[in-house]
Amino acid sequence: MRFGARLSKAISEHGPLCVGIDPHPGLLASWGLSQDAAGLERFALTCVEAFGGRVSVVKPQSAFFEAHGSRGVAVLERVIADLRDSGTLVLVDAKRGDIGSTMAAYAAAYLTEGSPLAGDAVTVSPYLGFGSLDPALEAASASGRGIFVLALTSNPEGASVQRAVGSEGRSVAQSIVDAAARANAGAEPFGDVGLVVGATLDELDVDLSDLHGPVLAPGFGAQGATVADLRSLFGSDLRGVLPTSSRDVLRHGPGTASLRSAVDAIRASLEM
């Protein structure tokens, strides 16, 4: 089953919430854990126990694992394997982007069957040109995985690039949306190419109507975005939108029961 179909099935079973595993040093400290690979492992595996089989998508933030070197990457590999064993879709938030053989190597690492870093999808950056992502698109197609392409992010620095208007009169962000839509053409209910669009944006100045793919919406919860904000940006039908909550859930740790209760509360709010 292709990624888009697996995602649609997961949403129908668990709702659209994506929960992040972000082992930020501040969160490790608030959980009473050591600032080393052992603390990282305890944190991450607690999250796996709490979220596995209970949400549609779990999104481990690769950078916080990489910060601990090879032992941290080994923990990330275990997180990916254990979540997939639980039947939970894993979106590795790595934001990789490069050209040629280097992009092909990233694709092999995150999108090729048998790689310990390959979840069900990975975030990628198109800002060396959407065509630079071809190795990732090809690897995802071959293995039935997905990619989420940065399109319109909510950080202030992003606007100078993403909202810049090209010679065709489209913003850079709209050109990325259009390229993703072409890759998803004919796919129902979702294609395998999703977009990352910030949930805290003041306005959605791109047209997503032809995307036929999912939208990852980071910024929900602790960063300020509400259910009302999601509906204001994306419309009342949020079936293809994956609001992402990390700190708003993780601050309820380290107990698995309290983490699960936080997930249940957010999921219920999305159904209202």
Tokens of 33: 């854990």
From CA 259, how far away is CA 51, in angstroms rounded?
8
Whole-number Å distance between alpha carbons of 109 and 61 = 15
User: What's the token pair of residue 58?
Assistant: 């779990």
Token digits of residue 178: 């259009």
CA distance 250 to 257: 12
Rounded Cα distance, 44 and 58, in Å: 11
Q: Which residues of 94-132 are buried (b: 16+ CB within 10 A; e: fewer)?
A: bbbbbeeeebbebbbbbbbeebebbbbbbbbebeeebeb
- The CB density around residue 18, as the number of other CB atoms within 10 Å, is 24
Is 9 in the active site? Answer: no
Which is the catalytic residue, given 9, 95, 163, 170? Answer: 95
C-alpha to C-alpha distance for 10 and 158, rounded to whole angstroms: 31
Amino acid at 72: G
Catalytic machinery residues: 95
